[in-house]
Amino acid sequence: MKRIPLIWVTAVSISVILFSCSSSKKVTGSGATTLRDAYKNDFLIGTALNSQQIEEKDSNAAKLVPEQFSAATPENIMKAEIIHPQWGNYNFDLADKMIAYGKKHNILINGHTLIWHSQLPAYARNIKDVDSFKTFFKDHITTIASRYNGKIYSWDVVNEALNEDGTMRKSIFLDKLGDDFVTEAFRLAQKAAPNTNLYYNDYNIEQPKKRAGAIALIKKIQAAGVRIDGVGIQGHWHLNKIPLKEIEESIQEFSALGIKVMFTELDIEVLKRDFQGADVSQRVASNPELNPYVNGLPDSVQLQLANDYENLFKLFINYKDKIDRVTFWGVSDGQSWLNGWPVRGRTNYPLLFDRQYKPKPAYYKVLELKTKKNAEQQKPF
């Protein structure tokens, strides 16, 4: 057999290496072509996943999610009505799949949520005596949090305990357990999940009055010697009305408490609504006037959405040391909860990917904030 000269082998290998490197750098100067990659030194980029997506039955999402996102939150399947449907009877099937999905794709999972007044199973809503309710509360937190201790990155331990004026929301938890139920929830979660980050999560807590309530709540938990690692600002905002000033103040004030700040359910509503926030019990009757973009989004709105996302992410980048994660509430427009709430059957466009899972102009704005800057930094002197 004829021997191939070593110099040829070397030349061929070098060109193969060079070719494969250049072909993997597709779009930008920095080489980052996805959100998770572009923001990897800043904060996690997350998405909410529905059960189809967790089970990888949605083929578009199955490809896109692991490429674009480094964190995920189950949209519904860890809520009490699904994970704890009957007294003492847990259904961990989908939650276990979520954990396995995260492990497989190197995606950090945020558990959502241990204690929330909404999506509670009927038996829990109907518990009358205080001792039985205490048993439900303790068993629920302890069983779920300990099962996933160290396997899940974080928990929204308590969701939406506050009113808009910063006082405690009227709920079955407040009614049966009193003002201290939030601290007690964190105390139980800390015991059951010493290796998981523990967060308080709410909407509109960037607004001054509700923010003051959240700060008081967090200080109360800390004063009791109980661990809280972060706060999640849900971030259900409106086109052309992103409260940038309040968001900035909130990042500063919450992080001054020694905790991380997260944006946990980001979406930007492009349709009309006469109230802010995300109180799931608020509903508005459908009406064609409230659903103007059934056949597509006008360019002007598309552009405004892109600008809003750009300005928001500029602010996030400025505070990257204080922010741990930014999570979108859904992967693509077609699956957003805003198609069904607060008005049923609307065609909404709040996310970065369209109904075909294609990136929208807003996506490119968010990506380019990192890739263009990186490209600048890499310019030779």
Q: What is the rounded CA–CA span in Å between residue 319 and residue 25?
A: 28
Give rounded-to-5 percent helix, strand, coil for the chain: 45, 15, 40
Closest contact distance (angstroms) between CB of 98 and ligand XIL is 14
Q: Which of 160, 184, 206, 269 is catalytic?
A: 160
Rg over alpha carbons for the chain, rounded to the nearest Å, is: 23
Residue window 57-96: x/- pattern of binding to ligand XIL, with contact defined by CB under 6 A: ------------------xx--------------------
Annotation says 160 is catalytic: yes
For tokens 């909130």, what's the residue? 250
CB of 349 to ligand XIL, least distance (A): 16
What one-character DSSP code corresponds to residue 334? Answer: G
Residue 184 falls in the annotated catalytic set: no
Q: Which amino acid is at 59?
A: S
314 is written with which tokens?
């500029």
Decide if residue 269 touches ligand XIL (CB under 6 A): no
Closest CA to 50 of 70, 68, 71, 77: 77
One-letter amino acid for residue 96 of the chain: D
State the catalytic residue, choosing from 184, 206, 265, 269: 265
Distance CA 257, CA 218 (A): 8
Q: State yes or no: residue 333 binds ligand XIL (CB under 6 A).
A: no
CB of 48 to ligand XIL, least distance (A): 7
Q: DSSP letter string over 163-187?
A: -TTSSBPP-HHHHHH-TTHHHHHHH
Span 130-159, contacts to ligand XIL by CB under 6 A: 159
Q: Report the nearest approach of ligand XIL to the CB of residue 9 (Å).
A: 57
Whose Cβ is closer to ligand XIL: residue 58's or residue 75's? Answer: 75
Binding mask 270-289 for ligand XIL (x = CB under 6 A): --------x-x---------
3-state secondary structure of 371: helix
Q: Catalytic residue numbers? A: 160, 265
Q: Which residues bind ligand XIL (CB under 6 A)?
A: 75-76, 159, 234, 265, 278, 280, 337
